[in-house]
Structure 1
Amino acid sequence: MMLPAIIDSVYLTDIQYKNDEAYLTIVVNGVSDVFVCYPKTGDISVISHSEALWELLVHLMPYENSINKKIFESVWNFIKGKSINFPVKLI
């Protein structure tokens, strides 16, 4: 995804989870793309990011430093079967 210089809005609009991979549909300034992350359970729940998702997060952190936390919570709530009201406003 080519990221614009100015970010007006970022939304998480869908999560699909299969084979230990979470596919996140993220819309930046109206442009949608799918990113992958890898949730792992254990003593501590963690999420590994694909390179593309990590690059997106690094680019967006100056606009919203808690964006990673918002994605983490949304993914784990989805996996646990909790209700999520899409779209989730990330920025």
Structure 2
Amino acid sequence: MEIFSVVNSDGTVSIPKEILETYGIAAGAKVDCLINGRQLEMRIMGTKLPSPKTKLVSGYGMVKVNGPSVSVDFDAAELFQNDRSGY
């Protein structure tokens, strides 16, 4: 998904409505900004889940897991970035 936004005169960037609704981001939500060269990544840090009507959690609660829970800030991509096994 590629959606453009504009930085205003005081340096604020508005998150487009489509993204807010898709990821359940509401006023007061905290986001973590990570910078990698010229690339900026934003991670949603809030604990509230998006409403069930969004695509993101349409199947939430349908699968039971007997293993340990995983924290909300778990990022599978980081496992591959830190993997030095050569694969």
Tell whether the structures are fold-level matches, with TM greater than 0.5. Answer: no
The alignment's TM-score, normalised by the length of structure 1, stands at: 0.28
Larger radius of gyration: 2
User: Of Structure 1 and Structure 2, which has the larger fraction of its residues in strand?
Assistant: 1
> Which of structures 1 and 2 has the larger relative contact order (alpha carbons within 8 angstroms, sep 6+)?
1
The alignment's TM-score, normalised by the length of structure 2, stands at: 0.29
User: Of Structure 1 and Structure 2, which has the larger fraction of its residues in helix?
Assistant: 1
